[in-house]
Structure 1
Amino acid sequence: FGSKEALIDEIYRYRLPDIEKGRRAMLVSLDAEGRGQDFEMLLKAVWTPLFEQVDKDGIHIYGRFLRAMMRDGIEHTRQIVTSDYPTALELIARLEEKLPFGRGHLWELRWQIATDMVLDALLVIDNRKLGISKQARFIFEDAVRMASAALMASIDPQARF
């Protein structure tokens, strides 16, 4: 690969096509059902393909990779390939339209925290060796609900960020 950055880029390019396909299928289904503007359902469309992607041992290996990228402060490397995946961009745009406070630093901060919540839920699932079982799905979907509430939480109008 030549460098750490090239290896990271290759991991994204290997994993993201399947995730993009899952997101597209979910978004098409949501639109057909008239739920394509539902904030929580859009979040599920973003994150469910990560939940469903496990290795032969039922471990959310790509979720762990993303968590490591965030932990090491290099999650921005994901932006390198964002334009290659239009469904991800469409989902984010729809989510941003629903925000009570608009796009900007607060959205980016909350998105990072919400993503941490979901990725940490995958880690809990992995540590309990639940794979993609019914229990695992409950934990995952509960994390998505919590992330939705965190993203939509009101802000102090006097606060400055």
Structure 2
Amino acid sequence: MMTKTRSRPLKGTPLALIEAAERLFGQHGIENVSLRQIRLEACAGNNSAISYHFSDREKLVRAIWQHRLPELDKARRQLLDRIYEQGMQQDAHMVLRALIMPNYDLMDSGGVHRYAAFFRHALRWQQGTAIRNSQLHVTPASSEALALFHALRPDVPPELLEYRLRYGACTFFDMIFERDVAIAAGQSVMSEKAFLAEGIGMLEAICFRPSQV
């Protein structure tokens, strides 16, 4: 089920700052955007708006996740329930869909994957993975999906599996971002069905290859 974000919040509010940061971080990278740019994007007239509400860049990234994670975990729970109902806990494709599709399905009102664009940079940011991992306790469906993911290949060290998932997901989210850019430019792209099959199939190949360690 596709999920679209609500229309833009009131100018200058904390939510406007969060969504402005998500957009700009997704386009340019977390370290390549100034807090002033975010404030202007959110139409916040107060020069200290970000420091007042979030203190610094790291807390702003945390706030983006706090804003998005409940909705993402709800969608992930639905996919997990379907996996259990169909007895597909050992199906790698379905488990990866449970991990990836909630991020993909979260779009803005124009059908652009703003969160996926942000997430690709957040995973690469030095503090990003640690921040996200620290919030797993508030996303039980995510923890459960990761447990199913690890159970698929008990012969591969857990840290190696997570390393593969992290960088494989980054590549997949890069593909999503580039597809959105191509669509906006009026360029032809592969169908969504073919695109998702290619992306998830690629991720499966990256994650579940035999361990060389």
Q: Shorter-chain TM-score: which interval?
A: 0.7 to 0.9
Q: Deviations over 1:106-148 (max 9, x none)?
A: 2232122211122122112212228xx9823421231111101
Query: Which residue does the alignment assign to 1:23?
Result: 76
TM-score by length of 1: 0.86
Superposed, 1:1-161 pairs within 5 Å as 1-76=54-129, 77-129=131-183, 135-156=191-212, 160=213
Deviating beyond 6 angstroms after TM superposition, the runs of 4 or more aligned structure 1 residues are none
Q: How much has 1:87 moved relative to structure 2?
A: 0.6
> Which has the higher relative contact order, 1 or 2, with Cα contacts under 8 A spaced 6 or more apart?
1
Alpha-carbon distance in structure 2 between the residues aligned to 1:123 and 1:100: 32
Query: Which residue does the alignment assign to 2:51?
Result: none
Q: Larger C-alpha radius of gyration, 1 or 2?
A: 2
Contact 1:66–1:75 (Cα < 8 Å) also in 2: no
TM-score by length of 2: 0.66
Q: Residue 150 of structure 1 aligns to which amino acid in structure 2?
A: I
Secondary structure of the 1:129 match is helix
How many residue pairs end up in the alignment? Answer: 155
Q: How much has 1:2 moved relative to structure 2?
A: 1.4
Q: Which segments of 5 or more consecutive residues in structure 2 lack a partner in the other structure?
A: 1-53
* Fraction of identical pairs, as percent: 24
Q: How much has 1:74 moved relative to structure 2?
A: 2.9
Alpha-carbon distance in structure 2 between the residues aligned to 1:21 and 1:137: 23
Q: Which segments of 5 or more consecutive residues in structure 1 lack a partner in the other structure?
A: none
Contact 2:156–2:211 (Cα < 8 Å) also in 1: no
